[in-house]
Amino acid sequence: MTRLFGPSNLTLVEDVVHDALVAAMQAWRFSLPENPKAWLLQTARNRAIDVIRRDRRLIALDAEPDSDTDAIVSHTLSVVNISGFVLSLILLASAFVLRRNYSRGRLTAQMFLLATMAVTTALGEWVIAARMRNLRAAMIIPIDQVSAADPMRVAFAALHGYSVAALGIAMIAALLLSFIIRTRSRTLHEWERTGSGNYRTR
């Protein structure tokens, strides 16, 4: 039993073995099973599984508020990533169609920033966030209750850092893109007001 549930659950093993012995005293009053040792091990194992399931249900009930908060944060981050990805694709297509209206340098900068937004938001949603969701599900209990040295929590923390970095890069790219579009609009307005010069060379 200790090999099955691990040394960290020694107290649990002692309790379920005791319960199995009590059950055996009641069940064996009239006859013994064909394999008493197997009967005891199976009874103790079933009891241990029941206890573990009960404890996990209690932990899940205690963690419901935190789970709701995590769900809201995860949903919001997912909306931001997907919206940024879709918007960057739409703007990429628009810039490609209207490329004759841009100078080469401005078009290159805009396409690069849009591609950066698309890549970072896609990675954030469908690679990093997906792995974080899988790790959270594998940990069963709330992440705050998992040991900081646990390999899964260490991996989760690393992925969280990557997620923040990816979102930060996407936001910087969006700010730079907004600046380029705003300056282009001002230049176009000035060109239309004066009616002079070739806009594509600006």
Cβ atoms of 173 and 113 closer than 8 Å = yes
- E strands along 33-169, which residues? none
Do 89 and 166 lie in one domain? The reply is yes
Chosen domain end from 34, 62, 90: 62
Determine the pLDDT at residue 67: 55
Do 114 and 166 lie in one domain? The reply is yes
Do 112 and 44 lie in one domain? The reply is no
pLDDT digits (tens, 9 = 90+) for 54-103: 776 655 545 555 555 667 778 888 888 999 999 999 999 998 898 887 88
Do 71 and 95 lie in one domain? The reply is yes
Question: Is pTM, for the whole model, over 0.75?
Answer: no
Residue 194 and residue 181: Cα distance in Å, rounded? Answer: 20
Residue 40 and residue 20: Cα distance in Å, rounded? Answer: 6
Do 77 and 106 lie in one domain? The reply is yes
Determine the pLDDT at residue 199: 46
Determine the pLDDT at residue 202: 45
Q: Is residue 200 classed as helix, strand or coil in its secondary structure?
A: helix
Determine the pLDDT at residue 201: 43
Do 36 and 87 lie in one domain? The reply is no
Do 13 and 84 lie in one domain? The reply is no
Do 111 and 131 lie in one domain? The reply is yes
Helix axis angle for 129-139 and 64-97, nearest 10°, is 170
Chosen domain end from 21, 37, 62: 62
Do 112 and 161 lie in one domain? The reply is yes
Determine the pLDDT at residue 52: 74
Do 79 and 173 lie in one domain? The reply is yes
Q: Domain range holding 106?
A: 65-201
Do 32 and 95 lie in one domain? The reply is no
Residues of the chain short of pLDDT 70, as ranges, are 1-9, 56-70, 187-193, 195-202
Do 107 and 33 lie in one domain? The reply is no
Q: Work out how many domains the chain is built from and give that number.
A: 2
